[in-house]
Amino acid sequence: MVIRRLYKFCASHVVRNCSSLKCAQNIHGHNYEVEVFIETNRLDSANMALDFGLMQQEMQTFIDSFDHAHHFWDKESLEFQRFIENHCVRYVKCSFNLSAESYALMFLYYLTRILQKSVFSNNEGELKVSSVRVHETKNGYAESFLNDLENPHFKSLVHDHCVSFSQGIQ
């Protein structure tokens, strides 16, 4: 059984090294949609996989941290990083290049940890975030699956400190 929850945020970024120069050389923004898919092996006492009200606060709070902020790669020039830090109250510094694929992996990583740390008391089954789908546009998305976190290439992109938030977000 799989259930889905949709979250939204708006943000700007630059995707360095991509083929499209418009994206690689310019700050631009998106209205992101993040779909979180949670899988269970049984229904709880209310015949639900999971009462999303239980997860709403922590997952929503984490995703809201990215809203109305500029996101930048920590490999940007120091001049660019300082400009953002000095002129934006809300920014997110990431240790990965800011593609939809990277966002999908990162959200999967952190939301998995949020779910693992949660305590449930309504006879819930084994719960896991089976995938996260990140839409940058209405036409395309990137989706990361739980087994991607075991892939050595993908695993190297996300870790406990791959994202840091400005004081304006914390």
| Residues identified as active-site | 23, 68, 136
- Alpha-carbon distance of 168 to 121, in angstroms, equals 35
**Matching residue, tokens 């991607």:** 148
One-letter amino acid of 56: Q
One-letter amino acid of 5: R
**Phi, psi (rounded to 5 degrees) for 85:** -65, -30
Total number of residues shown for the chain: 170
**Matching residue, tokens 């996260």:** 132
- Alpha-carbon distance of 136 to 134, in angstroms, equals 6
Dihedral, CA of residue 66, residue 68, residue 70 and residue 71, to nearest 10? 20
In this structure, are strands 141-145 and 2-13 parallel, antiparallel, or unpaired?
unpaired
**Phi, psi (rounded to 5 degrees) for 91:** -145, 155
